[in-house]
Structure 1
Amino acid sequence: MTVPIAIIGTGIAGLSATQALRDAGHVVQLFDKSRGSGGRMSSKRSDAGALDMGAQYFTARDRRFVTEVQRWHANGWAAEWAPQLYNFHGGQLTPSPDEQTRWVGTPRMSAITRGLLGETEVHFACRITEVYRGERHWHLQDAEGFTHGPFSHVIIATPAPQATALLAAAPKLASAAAGVKMDPTWAVALAFETALETPVEGCFVQDSPLDWLARNRSKPGRDNGLDTWVLHASSTWSRQHIDLPKEAVIEQLHGAFAELLHSAMPAPSFSLAHRWLYARPASSHEWGALADVDLGLYVCGDWCLSGRVEGAWLSGQEAARRLHENL
């Protein structure tokens, strides 16, 4: 009987590791506390259509990731997004075109992770609270008190603070993960019946509670008649207002958005707020992945590298490579 490998987290890092291990002939079981895959690449279904509340787009620089993104594109999971970009600085809105190729999942960000998931066995809505080792194998305990296992190896692919709590069996890895600070982000979606009169489709924002906004319908496959916008607050603002009720967050960020466009903005026909407690690592590391090879415990995530989607994918590849090499 083949003892499977457990992977906790179905964001890009966890699914990248899954794919690499499956390609090498291993059996993998996945666990995620959410109801669906994607982590910060997930999309929220709403009355205003699918909304990318987390990662807004991604770029590809490393040739391995470039090749992978081309595969996603060929599969119809991803498409190029070429928005009219602006910068907002010192109260001024100025065009900010650049040569970068930006990619998005299509028709929603989570199409990529759904595609990567494939036929892998996955336990959704299953929050793992403990990772412990028996005589020969690993076992996982979930929040309901159920035990899963045995597993030959475990890969933890969650944000650093969540990984720290699962690394009791490997104190060195736990202390590395505990040293990683992750910044929060409040995200708000607003939908308008009548399109706002502005050429802006994406905007990098300074000197404001906001640090990014995007016109959702400008992304491929997302135009459903409503003019939907996704606003991301800055890390600083999000940290200062971490426990603000959602209605107040929507009101304040809607106000900052109106100020930025210098317009008497109508009330939105639909609004939604989502708090990402661990949106991005505050600084980048060059670990690739963390490993206790003797124990058979591995950790990966964007925070092990660059904090970008590409970093998450490369980190998952690295965890899988190290695991496979040490069998």
Structure 2
Amino acid sequence: MNAPIAIIGTGIAGLSAAQALHAAGHDVELFDKSRGSGGRMASKRSDAGSLDLGAQYFTARDRRFVEVVQQWQNRGWAETWAPELYNSQAGQLSPSPDEQVRWVGAPRMSAISRALLGALPVHFSCRITEVFRGGSHWSLQDADGNSHGPFSHVIVATPAPQASALLACAPKLAGVAASVVMEPTWAVALAFDTPLDTRVEGCFIQDSPLDWVARNRSKPGRDNHPDTWVLHASSAWSRQHLDLAKETVIEHLHGAFAELIGCAVPAPSFTLAHRWLYARPAQAHQWGALADADLGLYACGDWCLSGRVEGAWLSGQDAARRLLEHLA
């Protein structure tokens, strides 16, 4: 009986690798510090319904990812989203239609990660703090001091700053991960009992603390009431205000939203703030995935490629492919 393969992180990269390895007949065991799967594609259940606080949508350009997204659509996990798009510059709103096909999970972003996870064995609320090798096998230690293993291989599928610590057994890989700069993003959700009188459903913003707003009800399968909006602060603003109290962040971004949206904005009936410490890599890379095949240690994530959902999925595929090639 072969030992299973450990995968740390159940975002799109980790789930992509897990799916590929499972399809090839290998046992996998997943670990995540959160209470659910999806990483930055997770949705948060709230008193105002389900909210996509992280990735707002995704695009598909690579042929392999295009095919997979079409499968997701056929299975009812994903749908296209065609919002009325605007641009805001120097306080001026202007329509900004484009030809880009945008995808979202249905009826919420986390539908995709839940479906990909399926019945695979997973440990949630389990933060792995150390990956170590004993003899010919790997073991993992969690924040509560529990040990997990033995495992034949380990794939680290977490944001780069967290991955570098878990890759300590392979200093070269740890160094590469440590060199990646990841940008933070403050996300705020606002709900209004009376729908806002605006045609805006998505808006790219310059010259503001905000760089994106989206109207939740414009996405397929979402609740119409209340009228919920998700606001993302710019990386620069988020970096400068990283340790601000959530209430103050909500106040600032609500104010910026009211200035920008071009209609009366009443006091929201519900507010929520979430800080994504590692929202996106500051620049794209071409690594695909990181591998020390002799050791049996791998790393993948959006930071290995484009920083997009597509990059995360492709990176997970690449990690699985390299592992399988080494086994062949």
With normalisation by structure 1, the TM-score equals 0.99
Superposition deviation, residue 215 in structure 1:
0.1
Distance of 2:5 and 2:57 partners within structure 1: 30
Task: Letter of the 2:312 partner, please give it.
Answer: A
Aligned-partner Cα distance in 2 for 1:304–1:181: 12
- Give the whole-Å Cα distance in 1 for the aligned partners of 2:319 and 2:229: 36
Listed as ranges, the matches of 1:59-74 within 5 Å are 59-74=59-74
SS in 1 for 2:145: coil
Aligned residues: 327
The answer for the alignment partner of 1:269 in structure 2 is 269
Asked if the contact 2:85–2:203 (Cα under 8 Å) also holds between the matched residues in 1, the reply is yes
- Cα shift readout 1:172-200 (whole Å, capped 9, x = no counterpart): 00000000000000000000000001000
Aligned letter for 2:183? Answer: D
Instruction: Judge conservation of contact 2:197–2:264 (CA < 8 Å) in 1.
Output: no
Aligned residues of 2:13 and 2:316 also touching (Cα < 8 A): yes
Identity %: 78
Instruction: Give the whole-Å Cα distance in 2 for the aligned partners of 1:106 and 1:151.
Output: 34
Describe how 1:153-168 pairs up with structure 2 within 5 A.
153-168=153-168
CA–CA distance in structure 1, aligned partners of residues 246 and 75 of structure 2: 37
Residues 167-246 of structure 1 correspond to what in structure 2 (within 5 A)? 167-246=167-246
Question: Does the CA contact (< 8 Å) of 1:38 and 1:113 recur in 2?
Answer: yes
Q: Output one character per residue of 1:265-305: Cα deviation in whole Å (capped at 9) or x when no partner.
A: 10000000000000000001000000001100000000000
Question: Which letter does structure 2 place at the counterpart of 1:204?
Answer: F
Amino acid at match of 1:156: V
Q: CA offset at residue 261 of structure 1?
A: 1.7
| Other-structure match for 2:21 | 21
Question: What is the CA distance between 1:38 and its match in structure 2?
Answer: 0.3
**Deviation readout 1:194-245 (Å, 9 max, x if unpaired):** 0001000000000000000000000001024111000000000000000000
1:86 partner amino acid: Y
Question: SS at the partner of 1:10?
Answer: coil
Q: What is the CA RMSD across the aligned residues, in angstroms?
A: 0.6
Unaligned runs of 5+ in 2: none
In structure 2, the residue matched to 1:286 is: 286
Is the Cα–Cα contact under 8 Å of residues 49 and 224 in structure 1 kept in the other structure? no
Does the 8 A contact of 2:198 with 2:263 survive in 1?
A: no
Residue deviations 1:3-62 (CA, integer Å, cap 9, x gap):
100000000000000000011000000000000000000000001100000000000000
Amino acid at match of 1:59: T
Matched residue type, 1:123 = H
Cα contact 1:210–1:233 (8 A) shared by 2: yes
Give the whole-Å Cα distance in 1 for the aligned partners of 2:201 and 2:193: 17
Instruction: Give 5+ residue unaligned stretches, structure 1.
Output: none
Aligned to 1:309: 309
In 1: Cα distance, 2:314 partner to 2:288 partner: 7
Report the Cα distance in structure 1 between the residues aligned to 2:136 and 2:230, rounded to whole angstroms.
Answer: 48
Residue 145 (str. 1) matches residue 169 (str. 2): no
Which runs of structure 1 show a deviation greater than 3 angstroms over 4 or more consecutive aligned residues? none
Match of 2:76 in 1: 76
Aligned to 2:136: 136
Report the residue type matching 1:221 in the other structure.
G
Q: Which residue is equivalent to 1:119? A: 119
- More off after superposition, 256-265 vs 239-248: 256-265
Q: What is the CA-CA distance between 1:90 and the residue it aligns to?
A: 1.5
Shift of 1:91: 1.4
Residue 103 of structure 1 aligns with an amino acid whose one-letter code is W
Aligned with 2:18: secondary structure?
A: helix
Q: Is residue 98 of structure 1 aligned with residue 105 of structure 2? A: no
Matches of 2:277 and 2:91, distance apart in 1: 28
Greater mean alpha carbon deviation, residues 260-269 or residues 88-97: 260-269
Write the deviation string for residues 44-91 of structure 1: whole angstroms up to 9, x where unpaired. Answer: 000110000000000000010000000110111100000000000111
- One-letter code aligned to 1:153: H
Match in the other structure for 1:6: 6
Counterpart AA for 1:306: S
Report the alpha carbon displacement of residue 2 of structure 1 after superposing the two structures with TM. Answer: 1.9
